[in-house]
Amino acid sequence: MRVSVLSALILPLFAGCAWLSGVPAGTPPEGAIVENAPTAGEMTRRAAENYLVASLAAYTLQNMPGGAMIAIQADPATRVVAEAVLRNLKPISAITFAPDSPLVLRSRADGNRWIFQLYRLTDQTILWQERLAVRD
């Protein structure tokens, strides 16, 4: 019984010593040791593109199960991303590009924000919308 009590006391002592041996000697460096995390809610360009594909795919699968043809209306800052979103939606929800479609994927950059909308021209309705903070 004494052996089990002694081992129960010694085991945490050894674990504590092992943890302390991993801490380097000396004073810590000045400033941040690791790079600061981005502002809450900010995404990389790639993460924002992936998020847009997933969000729009969820919407179109639920509301347009047979697929749809969508046009693009984008500013130069978001045109490439809008095209990539539509291209990546094709195998997921049968969305295709059609320049004269009444459904329009509208996108624009406003500072560090991307604003994407699926807009129906016939009744001027926003069907889907995402606003994302994007960092370079």
- pLDDT score of 114: 95
Look at the pTM and tell me if it is higher than 0.75: no
- Determine whether 38 is exposed, middle or buried from the number of CB atoms within 10 Å of its CB (0-12, 13-18, 19+): exposed
Q: Which two tokens stand for residue 3?
A: 């052996």
72-130 tens-digit pLDDT: 999 999 999 999 999 999 998 888 999 999 999 999 999 989 999 999 999 999 999 99
- pLDDT score of 29: 75
Listed by start position, the domains of the chain span 42-134
Fold of 42-134: THUMP fold (3.30.2300)
- pLDDT score of 99: 92
41-73 tens-digit pLDDT: 789 999 999 999 999 999 999 998 888 999 999
Amino acid at 5: V
Task: Name the residue among 127, 130, 89, 88 with its Cα closest to residue 113.
Answer: 130
